[in-house]
Chain A
Amino acid sequence: MEKAKISSIQLFLLLSGFIFGSTVILAPGRAARHDGWLAVLLGGIGSILLMEIYAAVALLNPSKTLVDILKEKMGKVVGNLFAILYIWYFIHLASLVLRNFGEFICTVTFPETPMVLVIGLFAILLLYAVNSGIEMMGRLGELLVPAIPFIVFIISLSLLSAHDFTAFLPILENGIVPVLKTALNIISFPFGETVVFLMLFPHLNRKEKLKKVVFISASISVLAGIALTFRDIFVLGTDLMARITFIPHLTAMLIPWLNVEPLVDINLLIGGGIKISVCIYAAAKALSQITGIDDYRKLTSAIFTFCVVLSIWVYENVIEMFDWVEKVWFYYSVPFQIIIPLLLLVLSLRKKQALKGNDIENGNVEQ
């Protein structure tokens, strides 16, 4: 395995940047309308538990990546099959984020520029980052991710006078069902997507801090998500939120005396860039582990090329993209984000129990 190590603060920032990735432009709580904040809160609690499961799987299998764990727990053939499915999932996720980025930039900032050019240039930049290794990605996160909350804070503060603090009332007007549905969607997007970090956790230099880092990162992301949902509801109102595509962009446009739109672009560049880099790194690394290739970097350019093509191919337009994500993404993601990690946790715990049992038996024999 690659000997590169990242510190707990770097992992924390990579995780937070990953969660904020496309969330900064898509506002995942909007489907629950007035109760979006409640959906983010409920989904967030579930997400923290889910991310702790990922951390527990990593801690029960120290220094092993997702591919190693799958092969060890499920056997070589089934393990490799699941690993290939995960590689597809990571590549698909990266291409979705690339498309989100392309759609946003071509709708809002550069309407005359072909999307393939925007996506292609971004991909070249990220290829350089991924080829520089996980340590460089960690340092990049350390340098850039702190800008995200700073920018969000500037935008939110500038809009303080435009708030209608009663806009989130009445609570649960349409019952609890839409809130729960949205909460489930929030678990799968963006929090469940952090399953990709099972390929990165072995690089953490101080393993004992993993659970703490994951918990703090998830909690801060949930709190920030609730704050952002409240801001959007207070500033725009739920009727307008239901009708527009890129909510944070419109929110930023409402500041009368300051043009802060480019700051939303910067947030997406940082968050989306980190998300895509992590996904491609994980996919290339997993593929190199399965096939026994010594260096994952030999595959990154081919995977990036495929990703760019897939991002253009996968949806015909932005409406289809949002419709698919709303209808299909959760069900498609459940096996990758919940079922397989839970299965791995159970198998890892059983192995640990068996080892403990053996130790006690051996101890008894010695006595």
Chain B
Amino acid sequence: MLLILALFAVLIVYDLQKFIQQKAQARVFVLYTFFMTVSLIISLFLAAGKRPSSPAQWIETVLAMIGVVK
């Protein structure tokens, strides 16, 4: 858990200082925050041994509902 938090902290600090130096647009910050937050939350779940249902399972369920996959 701590390792994941530390890794994400390093990544975010490194990228954010680059964005601030380059005076990046607000939408860059929004998209960056979205991807990193989702990644961090899933990583923490995986590290805690509580794997949330994956996109592969969602896709399979949707295709099964349509009747394409048994």
Contacts and interface: CB of A to CB of B under 8 A. Distances in A.
Nearest to B24: A298
Nearest to A315: B56
B46 A306 contact: no
Nearest to A307: B39
Nearest to A294: B25
A328 B59 contact: yes
Contact of A291 (B8, B31, B39, B68): B31
Given A313-B54, A331-B69, A324 B27 contact: no
B13 interface: no
Q: Is the interface of A mostly helix, strand, loop or mixed?
A: helix
A101 B41 CA distance: 24
Interface residues of A, number: 27
Contacts of B38: 306, 309
B35 A306 contact: yes
* Residue among A294, A308, A328 with most chain B CB within 10 A: A328
Given A301-B11, A313-B51, A328-B69, A293 B27 contact: yes
Contacts of A308: 39
A175 interface: no
A287 interface: yes
Contact of A306 (B27, B39, B52): B39
A306 B55 CA distance: 13
A50 B39 CA distance: 34
A328 B54 CA distance: 14
Nearest to A303: B35
A282 to B, nearest CB: 16
Interface string B40-58: 0011001000011011100
11 contacts: A92-B55, A298-B19, A303-B35, A305-B8, A309-B42, A310-B55, A313-B51, A314-B55, A315-B54, A324-B56, A331-B63
Interface of B: 8, 11, 15, 19, 22, 24-25, 27-28, 31-32, 35-36, 38-39, 42-43, 46, 51-52, 54-56, 59-60, 63, 68-69
Interface of A: 92, 287, 291-294, 298-299, 301-303, 305-306, 308-310, 312-316, 320, 324, 327-328, 331-332
